[in-house]
Amino acid sequence: MECALFDNYAHELNDFLGSGNKDGAVVVLEFVRLKLYNGKIVLQNFMYGTKMFFNLEEANVI
Burial profile 24-59: b = 16 or more Cβ within 10 angstroms, e = fewer = eeeeeeeeeeeeeeeeeeebeeeeeeeeebeeeeee
CA-CA distance, 61 to 17, in Å (whole number)? 21
- Residue ranges of the domains in the chain? 7-61
Q: For 2-55, how does the pLDDT look when each residue is reduced to its tens digit (9 = 90+)?
A: 677 888 888 888 888 888 877 777 778 888 888 888 998 888 877 777 887 777
